[in-house]
Amino acid sequence: MSDAVSRLKVGIVGGTGYTGVELLRLLSQHPHVELAAITSRKEDGMPVADMFPNLRGRVNLAFQTPDTAGLDQCDVVFFATPHGVAMSQAEHLLSKGVRIIDLAADFRLHDTQVFEQWYKMPHSCPGVLAEAVYGLPEINRARIAGARVIGNPGCYPTTVLLGLAPLLGAGKHYIDTAGIIADCKSGVSGAGRKAEVGTLFSEASDNFKAYGVSGHRHHPEISEHLQNLAGTPVGLTFVPHLVPMIRGMFSTLYLRIQPEARTTDFQALFEQHYANETFVDVMPAGSLPETRSVRASNQLRIALHRPGNGDQLIVLVTQDNLVKGASGQAVQNMNIMFGLPETAGLQHIAVLP
Amino acid sequence: MSDAVSRLKVGIVGGTGYTGVELLRLLSQHPHVELAAITSRKEDGMPVADMFPNLRGRVNLAFQTPDTAGLDQCDVVFFATPHGVAMSQAEHLLSKGVRIIDLAADFRLHDTQVFEQWYKMPHSCPGVLAEAVYGLPEINRARIAGARVIGNPGCYPTTVLLGLAPLLGAGKHYIDTAGIIADCKSGVSGAGRKAEVGTLFSEASDNFKAYGVSGHRHHPEISEHLQNLAGTPVGLTFVPHLVPMIRGMFSTLYLRIQPEARTTDFQALFEQHYANETFVDVMPAGSLPETRSVRASNQLRIALHRPGNGDQLIVLVTQDNLVKGASGQAVQNMNIMFGLPETAGLQHIAVLP
Amino acid sequence: MSDAVSRLKVGIVGGTGYTGVELLRLLSQHPHVELAAITSRKEDGMPVADMFPNLRGRVNLAFQTPDTAGLDQCDVVFFATPHGVAMSQAEHLLSKGVRIIDLAADFRLHDTQVFEQWYKMPHSCPGVLAEAVYGLPEINRARIAGARVIGNPGCYPTTVLLGLAPLLGAGKHYIDTAGIIADCKSGVSGAGRKAEVGTLFSEASDNFKAYGVSGHRHHPEISEHLQNLAGTPVGLTFVPHLVPMIRGMFSTLYLRIQPEARTTDFQALFEQHYANETFVDVMPAGSLPETRSVRASNQLRIALHRPGNGDQLIVLVTQDNLVKGASGQAVQNMNIMFGLPETAGLQHIAVLP
Amino acid sequence: MSDAVSRLKVGIVGGTGYTGVELLRLLSQHPHVELAAITSRKEDGMPVADMFPNLRGRVNLAFQTPDTAGLDQCDVVFFATPHGVAMSQAEHLLSKGVRIIDLAADFRLHDTQVFEQWYKMPHSCPGVLAEAVYGLPEINRARIAGARVIGNPGCYPTTVLLGLAPLLGAGKHYIDTAGIIADCKSGVSGAGRKAEVGTLFSEASDNFKAYGVSGHRHHPEISEHLQNLAGTPVGLTFVPHLVPMIRGMFSTLYLRIQPEARTTDFQALFEQHYANETFVDVMPAGSLPETRSVRASNQLRIALHRPGNGDQLIVLVTQDNLVKGASGQAVQNMNIMFGLPETAGLQHIAVLP
Residues A306, A195 share a domain: yes
Tell me the chain C residues in contact with residue D349 when contact means C-beta distances shorter than 8 Å. 25, 28-29, 54-55, 58
Position B72 in a domain = yes
Look at A205 and D195 and tell me if their CB atoms are within 8 Å.
Answer: no
Give the model's pLDDT for residue B4: 46
3-class DSSP state of A170: coil
A349/B292 CB distance under 8 A: no
Q: Which residues in chain B have Cβ-Cβ distances shorter than 8 Å to A351?
A: 25, 54, 295-296, 351
Measure in Å the smallest separation between the Cα of C61 and chain B Cα atoms.
22
Residues B91 and B202 in one domain: no
Of the candidates B131, B165, B198, which is a domain's last residue?
B131
Rg of chain B, C-alpha, whole Å: 20
| pLDDT at residue C6, as a whole number | 84
B139-179: pLDDT as tens digits: 999 999 999 999 999 999 999 999 999 999 999 999 999 99
| C149 part of a folded domain | no
Beta bridge partners of B301: B281, B318
**How far is residue D243 from each of residues B185, C284, D66, D149, measured CA to CA in Å?**
10, 36, 35, 33
Q: Using CA of residue B309, residue B313, residue B315, residue B316, what is the dihedral sign?
A: negative
Query: Residue A132, exposed/middle/buried by CB under 10 A (0-12, 13-18, 19+)?
Result: buried
- Grouping H, G, I as helix, E, B as strand and the rest as coil, residue D232 is coil
What is the pLDDT, as a whole number, of residue A101?
98
Higher-scoring residue by pLDDT: D138, D215: D138
Contacts of D245 in chain A (CB under 8 A): 205
- Residue D208 is predicted with a pLDDT of 98
Do B24 and B60 touch, CB atoms closer than 8 A?
no
- Look at residue B218 in the predicted model and tell me its pLDDT: 95
Q: How many CA atoms lie within 13 A of C189 on its CB side?
A: 30
Q: For chain D, which chains pass the contact test of at least 3 CB pairs under 8 Å?
A: A, B, C
Domains contained in chain A, number: 2
Please identify every residue of B annotated as catalytic: 155
Q: Which among D237, D288, D316 has the least Cβ separation from residue B254?
A: D237
| Pairwise CA distance, residues D26 & D33, whole Å | 10
Smallest Cβ distance to B21: which of A189, A348, A352? Answer: A352
For chain B, list the contacting chains (3+ Cβ pairs, <8 Å). Answer: A, C, D
CA distance D244 to chain A (A): 8
Whether D45 maps to a domain, the answer reads: yes
Please indicate, yes or no, if residue B254 is contained in any of the structural domains: yes
Bridge partners of A180? A236
Q: How many CB atoms within 10 Å of residue C13?
A: 24
| Exposure on the CB side of residue C197, measured as CA atoms within 13 A | 9
> Which residue in D37, D116, D122, D65 sits closest to D88, CA to CA?
D122
> Quick one: pLDDT band at residue C82, thresholds 50, 70, 90?
very high
CB A233 within 8 A of CB A293: no
Cα distance between residue C31 and residue C331, in whole Å:
12
Task: Name the average pLDDT for chain B.
Answer: 96
**pLDDT tens track for B175-203:** 999 999 999 999 999 999 999 999 999 99
A175 and A273 assigned to the same domain: yes
**Per-residue model confidence as pLDDT tens digits over D294-353:** 999 999 999 999 999 999 999 999 999 999 999 999 999 999 999 999 999 999 999 999
Which regions of chain A are under pLDDT 70? Answer: 1-5
Helix (H) / strand (E) containing A37: strand A33-39
Q: Are A79 and A13 in contact (CB under 8 A)?
A: yes
The answer to whether the CB atoms of A353 and B296 lie below 8 A apart is no
- Does residue C332 belong to any structural domain of this protein? no
In a domain, B23, yes or no: yes
Provide the angle, in degrees to the nearest 10, between the axes of the packed helices B137-145 and B155-164: 100
Residue of chain B minimizing CA distance to C205? B201
Using alpha carbons, select from A342, A333, A258 the residue that is nearest to residue A76. A333
Distance of CA C325 to the CA centre of its chain: 3
Cα C155 to Cα C184: distance, rounded to the nearest angstrom: 10
Q: Which of B75, B85, B92 is nearest to B119 (CA)?
A: B85
Report the half-sphere exposure of A324 (CA within 13 A, side-chain side). 34
**What is the domain extent for residue D18?**
2-131
| Separation CA D121–CA D118 (nearest Å) | 8
Interacting residues of C295 by C-beta distance below 8 A, sequence separation 6+: A206, C247, C248, C320, C350, C351, C352, D54, D351
Chain C environment of B244 (Cβ under 8 Å): 201, 205
Q: Which of A210, A245, A307 shows the shortest C-beta gap to C208?
A: A245
ipTM > 0.90?
A: yes
From the list A327, A35, A21, A279, the residue with the least C-alpha distance to A152 is A327
User: What pLDDT was estimated at residue A2?
Assistant: 42
The helix (run of H) or strand (run of E) holding residue D144 is helix D137-145
The CA distance from C255 to C239, in Å, is 15
Q: pLDDT tens-digit profile of C128-176?
A: 999 999 999 999 999 999 999 999 999 999 999 999 999 999 999 999 9
Instruction: Closest CB to C245: pick one of A208, A295, A305.
Output: A208
Could you tell me which chain C residue has the CA closest to the CA of B193? C197
Same domain (yes/no): D168, D55: no
Contact A183 C252 (CB under 8 A): yes
Whether residue C284 has pLDDT greater than 50: yes
- With beta carbons less than 8 A apart as the criterion, state whether C246 and C158 touch: no
Write the CATH number for C103.
Answer: 3.40.50.720
Which one of A52, A53, A353 has the shortest CB-CB distance to B246? A353
H helix intervals, chain A: 2-6, 18-28, 48-51, 85-95, 112-119, 126-131, 137-145, 155-164, 201-204, 218-230, 266-273, 328-337
Compute and round to an integer the Cα radius of gyration of chain C: 20
pLDDT for the residue numbered D238: 98
For residue A352, give the nearest of B52, B297, B301 by CB distance. Answer: B52
Nearest CA in chain A to C256: A179
Check pLDDT > 70 for residue C2.
no
Rounded distance between C-alpha atoms, residue A97 and residue A75, angstroms: 7
Question: Does some domain include residue C146?
Answer: no
> Residues of A with CB below 8 A from C233's CB?
none
Domain match, B180 and B53 both: no
pLDDT band at D2 (very low <50, low <70, confident <90, very high): very low
Query: Quick one: average pLDDT of B98-121?
Result: 96
Same domain for A166 and A113: no
| CB nearest to C352's CB, from D29, D52, D57 | D52
- Active-site annotation holds for A155: yes
B200–C205 C-beta distance less than 8 A:
no
Q: Which of B7, B4, B5, B2 is nearest to B338 (CA)?
A: B7
Closest CA to A315 of A250, A218, A219, A246: A250
Q: Are both B176 and B284 inside the same structural domain?
A: yes
Q: Are D212 and D154 in contact (CB under 8 A)?
A: no
Nearest CA in chain D to B215: D307
pLDDT of residue A6: 84
Residues of A in contact with B56 (CB under 8 A): 281, 283, 293, 299, 301
C151: left (phi over 0), alpha (psi -120 to 50) or beta: beta
Report the C-alpha dihedral over residues C123, C124, C128, C133, rounded to 10 degrees: -30
Looking at the structure, do residues A312 and A173 belong to the same domain, yes or no? Answer: yes
Please name which of C251, C249, C216 lies closest in space to residue C322, comparing C-alpha atoms. C249
B59 and B176: one domain?
A: no
Query: Chain C residues contacting D, CB < 8 Å?
Result: 18, 21, 25, 28-29, 52-58, 189, 193, 205-206, 246-247, 281, 283, 289-290, 292-297, 299, 301, 322, 347-353
| Contact criterion met (CB < 8 Å) for A246 and C206 | yes
Cα separation values, B100 from A270, B81, B325, B329, Å: 44, 13, 18, 14
pLDDT digits (tens, 9 = 90+) for C111-131: 999 999 999 999 999 999 999
- Nearest residue of chain A to residue C188 (CA atoms): A206
Q: Which runs of consecutive H residues, i.e. helices, occur in chain B?
A: 2-6, 18-28, 48-51, 85-95, 112-119, 126-131, 137-145, 155-164, 201-204, 218-230, 266-273, 328-337
Contacts of D296 in chain A (CB under 8 A): none
Does one domain contain both B307 and B230? yes
Q: How far apart are CA D252 and CA D254, in angstroms?
A: 7
Residue of D nearest to B211 (CA): D288
- The neighbours of chain C, by the rule of 3 or more Cβ pairs under 8 Å, are A, B, D
Distance CA B322, CA B326 (A): 5
Longest dimension (CA), chain A: 63
DSSP assignment string, C228-244:
HHHSS---EEEEEEEES
pLDDT score of A1:
36
CA C33 to chain centre: 20
- CATH number at B189 reads 3.30.360.10
| B172 and B81 housed in the same domain | no
Give the number of other Cβ atoms within 10 Å of residue C232's Cβ. 11
Question: Could you tell me if residue B60 is inside a domain?
Answer: yes
Q: Which of D201, D206, D244 sits opposite A200 (nearest CB)?
A: D201
- Residues B334, B145: Cα–Cα separation, whole Å: 9
What is the 3-state secondary structure of C287-324?
A: CCCEHHHHCCCCCEEEEEECHHHCCEEEEEEEECCCHH
Identified catalytic residue from D74, D125, D155, D184: D155
Tally of CB atoms within 10 A around D343 = 13
The angle that helices D218-230 and D112-119 make with each other, rounded to 10 degrees, is 160
Rounded CA gap, D341 and A294, in Å? 55
Residues whose CB is less than 8 angstroms from the CB of residue B53 and which lie 6 or more positions away in sequence, other chains included: A289, A290, A292, A293, A301, A352
Residues of B in contact with C200 (CB under 8 A): 188, 193, 195-196, 199-201
Q: Scanning every residue of chain A, which has its alpha carbon at the shortest distance from the alpha carbon of D247?
A: A202
**Chains touching A (3+ CB pairs < 8 Å):** B, C, D
D243 → chain A, closest CA residue = A201
- What angle do helix axes A18-28 and A328-337 make, rounded to 10 degrees? 50
pLDDT digits 0-9 by tens, D248-280: 999 999 999 999 999 999 999 999 999 999 999
- Give the per-residue pLDDT at A5: 52
**Would you call D202 and A206 a contact, using CB atoms and an 8 Å cutoff?**
no
Contacts of C243 in chain A (CB under 8 A): 208, 243-244
| B164 and B68, same domain (yes or no) | no
DSSP-derived secondary structure for C57-86: TT---BEE-GGGS-GGGSSEEEE-S-TTHH
How confident is the model over B313-318, as a mean pLDDT?
A: 98
